[in-house]
A and B are shown apart, each in its own frame.
Chain A
Amino acid sequence: MAQVHIEDGMLVVEIEGLDKLWALKSRLEIPLVNVRGATADPGIVKEPKGVRAPGAHVPGVVTAGTFHIEGERVFWDVHDPTKAVVIELADERYARLVIQVADPDDTVTQVEHAITHR
């Protein structure tokens, strides 16, 4: 699970609980100008994720950490596919973040609103 909030022009993603271990990350900060959008996407977990390095990938149980696919670096932290949100980035270490949040619709609205009014 991850907590997402907006703070001083930054998108802040905080990884909670044991996922900090699997994902080897506890906090990501992205300037809003580098955030292109957010989408609730329960279907994305069925897509090929690419090669993991580093992090943990136990198919069907935990997908957390950095994955490399098609020349892009994608950060994953999803257990429950129905709560997956995709945050697309530009000019960042990660091309996109695929994270599990408590309320996907709320997170999407929050992020899209923030990048519209930045």
Chain B
Amino acid sequence: MGRPRTFDEAEVVRSAVDLFAGRAYDGISIDDLVTRLGVHRNSLYKTFGSKRGLYLTALRWHLQHQVRPLLAGIGESRDAAQALERALAGTDLGLFLLATVERAPVDPDVAGEINEVLTEFDAAVEGPDAPADSRLAGALTATILGLHLRARISADTDALRAGTALIDHIRDSR
């Protein structure tokens, strides 16, 4: 029992994605969450169980609504070059990248979610009609993630330029 929830859970989860993508997990206190998400402490615990519960909810939302749609686009690409082009356009993979390096090694649930998406990433990059490219899938996924990583510290255009050069190289070598 208790007061009914007076906050928009989906909105809170979306804000939590941005917050967790921008700072180390251990560097975010419940005070930060209460202040930045605008949710009462008791409601936070009642809804998500713990800080980790909120983190997992936010990560799953990010993977489902921000990363997987990107994979769908990549999967429908003509070839590796177009897959790369689409993979580098726009989408912010911040929480996915940070979770991979920071939380996946110490949290089996996070590792499970991340590994699932990495497998889907390889499958999407591979594409159903491109058996000749299958050995490249893992390398291409790594390239895409690496370029997204670099885009976080330099202007997006630099990563895009590196991506474009690679795309041209792939096309030329055909």
A residues whose Cβ falls under 8 Å from a Cβ of B: 36-44, 47, 69-72, 86, 88, 95-96, 108, 112, 116
Contact = CB atoms under 8 A, between A and B. Distances in A.
A72 B30 contact: no
A36 B3 contact: no
Interface residues of B, number: 19
A108 B53 CA distance: 12
Contact of B30 (A44, A70, A71, A96): A44
Nearest 3 CB-CB pairs, A to B? A37-B50, A36-B49, A37-B49
Nearest to A105: B26
22 contacts: A36-B50, A37-B51, A38-B50, A39-B45, A40-B51, A41-B51, A43-B31, A43-B34, A43-B41, A44-B41, A47-B41, A72-B1, A72-B42, A86-B30, A86-B45, A86-B50, A88-B45, A95-B2, A108-B52, A112-B50, A112-B52, A116-B109
A37 B42 contact: no
Interface string B25-42: 000011100100000011
A86 B109 CA distance: 21
B24 to A, nearest CB: 14
Nearest to B32: A43
B2 A37 contact: no
B8 to A, nearest CB: 19
A44 B50 CA distance: 13
B48 to A, nearest CB: 8
B27 to A, nearest CB: 13
B53 A36 contact: yes
Contact of B45 (A40, A96, A112): A96
B1 A71 contact: yes
B46 A95 contact: yes
B3 A71 contact: yes
Nearest to B2: A71
B52 A37 contact: yes
A43 B50 contact: no
Nearest to A98: B45
